[in-house]
Amino acid sequence: MTFALVFLAIIMATVIGWLLRQSLNTQPWDAKDPLENQPGRGVINADPAKVGLIAFIAVVTSLFALFLSAYLMRMQLGDWRPLAEPDLLWLNTAILVLASVAFQVTRGAASRDQPLTLKVGLVVGGVCTTLFLLGQLAAWQQLHASGYFMTGNPANAFFYLLTALHGLHLLGGMWVWGRTTMRLLTGADAQSVRLSVELCTVYWHYLLLVWIGLFALLLST
């Protein structure tokens, strides 16, 4: 339990720290608030979308921490029988890393106003994420074909639950990715989607770290 809480706390602190550095402006001379010169008035220029992502990541981190704590406590009981994780998960992990890299490239392209690289990066990131999700489904099918049913063992049930929970959060990100990509492909300029691309990039990096933690835990237990 301690491992799960510490690991997810580190992930959340890293992502939130980065977002705070991007969204909080403590330099009064850069602010455009007409009331900025009032005595005692501090200036915080926080984008609502970034603050929303911070809050969402905090909630998701708490959710994963609860499930991982339950996982670590449940495995102490005598009926726990570890399953053999499919080798396909290694390929899926590599694909998700590529998706995260593609979003990082896309973020840089949005900052430098490079529309072609931006479009290519978004498409590659979305395709890699789709391949990852399909690969996870294929891993489920491999386990099912080998007799590792969800109801057969608590370890099986937790594997399906944790991978499904992670996949659902990626699907939620894909909805935002789809809207951003469609805006860009229908004529929006790079600057108008820059914030969406930046938040998608942070979200994908976060879910990559979460998956690496989940995968390491599953392999070690």
Domains and CATH numbers, the chain: 2-220 (1.20.120.80)
- Give the per-residue pLDDT at 33: 42
Angstrom distance (rounded) from CA 136 to CA 198 = 26
> Each residue's pLDDT tens digit in the chain (221 positions)?
455 555 555 655 565 555 545 444 433 333 344 444 444 444 445 678 888 888 889 889 889 988 888 888 888 887 888 888 899 999 999 999 999 999 999 999 988 888 899 999 999 999 999 999 999 999 999 999 988 888 888 888 999 999 999 999 999 999 999 999 999 888 888 888 899 999 999 999 999 999 999 999 888 87
- Give the per-residue pLDDT at 93: 96
Angstrom distance (rounded) from CA 28 to CA 60 = 33
Q: Helix (H) and strand (E) counts for the chain?
A: 6, 0
pTM, two decimals, is: 0.80
Angstrom distance (rounded) from CA 43 to CA 36 = 7
- Give the per-residue pLDDT at 219: 87
